[in-house]
Amino acid sequence: MSQQYESILAVLKKHQQEHILAGYANLEPQQQEKLLGELAQLDFESLDDLISQYVRQRPMTDIPTDLAPAPYYPLTTRSDDWPDSAEQPDYYHRLGSDAVRQGKLAAFTVAGGQGTRLGWNGPKGTYPATVVTGKPLFQCFAEQILAAQEKYDVHIPWYIMTSPLNDATTQAFFIDNNYFGLSRNDVFMFPQGILPSFDAATGRLLLAEADTLAVNPNGHGGSIQALRESGAVEDMIARGIEHISYFQIDNPLVNVIDPLFLGLHLAAPDSSAEMSSKMVPKTDPEEKVGVFCQSAGKTMVIEYSDLPDQYMHQRDEQEKLLFLAGSIAIHLISVSFVEKLTADSKHFALPYHRADKKVPHVDPQTGDRIEPKEPNGVKLEAFVFDAIPLAESSIVMETSRESEFAPIKNAQGTDSPATSHQLQSDRAGTWLESVGISIPRDSDGHVDALLEISPLTALHAEDLDALDDLPSAIKVGEELAI
């Protein structure tokens, strides 16, 4: 056996992971080299810490005793409810528009997830998401960026975080689609970090293939470090970018360039302009979304599974949920905040969260493939919202679900393509109604037609005013893509 094999085996033995080489002798030389190469990259000291902290036990989240709901800026239709110290929405809108026009804002999509719930064969961004023409998610955002570039007469660079597991296919998809009309120089893709997946019962490493470790991307929280390590931050600074519009790959309705949100982030009296968030009111106490809270003056998201029952159901005098502000993973993050957090890049880490998942794997000894029926593995992921309390002072702004939230997470049921299509049609219907077009709706108020408005046609409802060839009414079940 080679010297490399012997030295890696010694390390594995020290950390009780030598099982992973049990079938080494049966592998082809190239496979042996590949497996040793992957093992050589692991830092077993830190893996031991992770295993004892997160795999051998289920870490509990400490809930601060002074936990309170985070304040938020309500929808502009209720701007009378804004704090007295704040300016009016128009002021922030103008400020944000100016910053976009001056080229200070970049778009940033986190697209490194595995999308296992949707079960689509390929990166989630390639999923055909729109109602009539089936445009892929990546195209939904590309068109928004194209339209905003035109509107503000500026280049808006787009940073996309992939993972080592989907980077090549994502790159190929953009090349095949000619970057959807964007300049290739304005699209910057980089892979995030990965972590091994662990056997839940033993904390042992798993093999995805006879010569390949089972790994998973290290969570959307990995984006903070990846922005720095990939050179994206340097690229942003060179371009004069100061703020990053962060959003997930799964929400085709997200308002990528939102001047009001940017203005508030930049200048609200209680914002340190480091990291800001959007929220939607929870539909019911048990909705599975994280909730914006505050403790000791810091804003934070508490996961739904960690929010104690008494808080989850607590209501005010008007019977409104007290812990109402649901997180929809839309943030503004300043480049200087990412620099500050990652100044000592090697030692910066957000906490990990444990997810118990089915991890198909290969038995190292026998080479048998195992397809678990129940969760057998632990994946560790960092969450980007854990960076919020690291900001000096962080604001939350309300947005409406109808206008900005139509996630595609599951193949069926809630947050599926079907629910997203309905929400996309609903929003398009509302926009068309605002310019006097009659739209059919069912008894629940949902649009009863298939409607799609490209961002290239209208970024906002007002943009439809300029169109003169729209029909005066849409019939039940009719398809319209403009």
> Which chain residues interact with ligand UTP by CB under 6 A?
110-117, 124, 161, 192, 217-220, 222, 248-250, 381, 409
**Helix (H), strand (E) at residue 404:** helix 401-404
Q: Kindly tell me which of 94 and 117 has the beta carbon lying closer to ligand UTP.
A: 117
**Least distance from ligand UTP to the Cβ atom of residue 165, Å:** 9
The one-letter code for the residue type at 92 is: Y
Q: Kindly tell me which of 250 and 448 has the beta carbon lying closer to ligand UTP.
A: 250
Q: Kindly tell me which of 140 and 210 has the beta carbon lying closer to ligand UTP.
A: 140
Q: Kindly tell me which of 53 and 416 has the beta carbon lying closer to ligand UTP.
A: 416
**Least distance from ligand UTP to the Cβ atom of residue 252, Å:** 12
**Least distance from ligand UTP to the Cβ atom of residue 375, Å:** 13
Residues 6+ apart with CB under 8 A from 245: 105, 106, 107, 108, 256, 257, 258, 262, 332
**Least distance from ligand UTP to the Cβ atom of residue 372, Å:** 15
Q: Kindly tell me which of 205 and 408 has the beta carbon lying closer to ligand UTP.
A: 408
Q: Kindly tell me which of 169 and 272 has the beta carbon lying closer to ligand UTP.
A: 169
CA distance 475 to 441: 10
Burial class (CB in 10 A: 0-12, 13-18, 19+), 101: middle
Q: Where are the alpha helices (DSSP H) in 248-398?
A: 259-267, 309-312, 335-341
Q: Kindly tell me which of 165 and 182 has the beta carbon lying closer to ligand UTP.
A: 165
- CA 292, 294, 297, 300 torsion: positive or negative? negative
Among residues 120, 170, 341, 33, which one has the least CA distance to residue 128?
120
CA distance 20 to 250: 35
**Least distance from ligand UTP to the Cβ atom of residue 217, Å:** 3
Q: Kindly tell me which of 46 and 116 has the beta carbon lying closer to ligand UTP.
A: 116
**Around 34, how many Cα atoms within 13 Å sit in the side-chain half-sphere?**
12
Assess contact for 128 and 177: CB atoms under 8 A: no
**Least distance from ligand UTP to the Cβ atom of residue 118, Å:** 6
**Helix (H), strand (E) at residue 431:** helix 417-434
**Least distance from ligand UTP to the Cβ atom of residue 381, Å:** 6
**Least distance from ligand UTP to the Cβ atom of residue 383, Å:** 9
Grouping H, G, I as helix, E, B as strand and the rest as coil, residue 261 is: helix
Among residues 159, 329, 156, 175, which one has the least CA distance to residue 253?
329
CA angle, 280 then 310 then 63, to 5°:
80
